[in-house]
Amino acid sequence: MLDPDFAAMLEAEAAATPPDMPPLAALPVDVIRAGYRAQRTAQNANSSPLDVEALDLTVAGAEGPIAARLYTPTGFLPPGPCLVYFHGGGFVIGDLETHDGHCRRLAAGSDARVLAVDYRLAPEHPFPAGHDDALAATRWVFDHAAEIGVDPARIGVGGDSAGGNLAACVASDLRGDPARRLKFQLLLYPVVWPEEMTLSRRERDGPVLTREAMTWFEAALAAEGHPQARRAAPARKADLAGLPAAFVATAGFDPLEDEGRDYAAALAACGVAVQHVRYPTLVHDFYIMGDVSPAVTAAAREAAEAVRAALWPSEI
């Protein structure tokens, strides 16, 4: 059954939605981004750890500097581990603010620095702009590790939804780079675009992530038909061997559940160490709704502990 706190949230949202609400495609993208930011920041107002320092900075994107935010938990002694994090939002919405509370929870729970990356968004910057920025930013962290107090031997990538796709793609792109060896990938309800449409995609229309939203996101990204389109579909890669260890989280009330589950199984079949955790009562996007349900706090703790286990080896 759906988590009762999320059920109450969805019921309240449905009651507040005007019956003549225009479709997503009819709304200006800036309006949708602003609404998403307001909603998600309000749902994290009371559950964000206070003992995390946040520093805004710029890192290298593929075509110039982009914004980022470095989270440092209390007691962190450099050089230490770092998780390079990419926010979700269908490659179209979401930003450093929508995921601020979530990144603070990850940093506090893992005792690692978290660098959140404000990659370029579609439709203004269609595929592969965001993917190129994610890769460039991760390379920047390796190349400037000493400047930001990071141990280059303990760097991981992570993300939720579209950000999970970016993290998985960066892990694949860096697989053959001997100078930049990722230690870990945190994939939270990732979109990985398998060859065949999964049962959960066919049968679930929401809650939270609807068919209309997925169609709108994918049209804005414009990856389909692009010469590099397969680069954005980790699940379509024939060989996943040699990728860093992974933590994959899926939600029971999420159209992306099956592809996340199947990707975890494919990684394991190729010899990658994988921990797959399913949250059967939760919805897509739950990690950034910390105030909605205590279940989010518990799940966030589990994700942070996976980061800590991967990036803080027992001999340190």
**Active-site residue list:** 161, 254, 284
Element (H, E) at 130: helix 129-143
Q: In whole angstroms, give the CA distance from residue 281 to residue 185.
A: 24
Q: Are 298 and 290 in contact (CB under 8 A)?
A: no
Nearest Cα neighbor of 296 from 106, 31, 77 is 106
Joined tokens for residue 281: 């009562």
Q: 5 φ, ψ to 5°? A: -70, -40
* Long-range own/partner contacts, residues 46-55 (CB < 8 A, 24 or more apart): 46/290, 46/291, 47/101, 47/105, 47/290, 47/291, 47/296, 47/297, 48/100, 48/101, 48/104, 48/105, 48/290, 49/73, 49/104, 49/105, 49/107, 49/108, 51/108, 52/104, 52/107, 52/108, 54/100, 54/104
Strand partners, 283: 253
Order of all β-strands in the sheet with 64-73:
52-61, 64-73, 113-117, 80-86, 150-160, 184-188, 245-253, 274-283
Contact 186, 109 (CB under 8 A): no
Q: What are phi and psi of 188, to 5 degrees?
A: -105, 115
Whole-angstrom distance, CA of residue 262 vs CA of residue 293:
27
17 Cβ partners below 8 Å, 6+ apart? Answer: none
Give dist(CA 59, CA 75) in Å, integer: 24
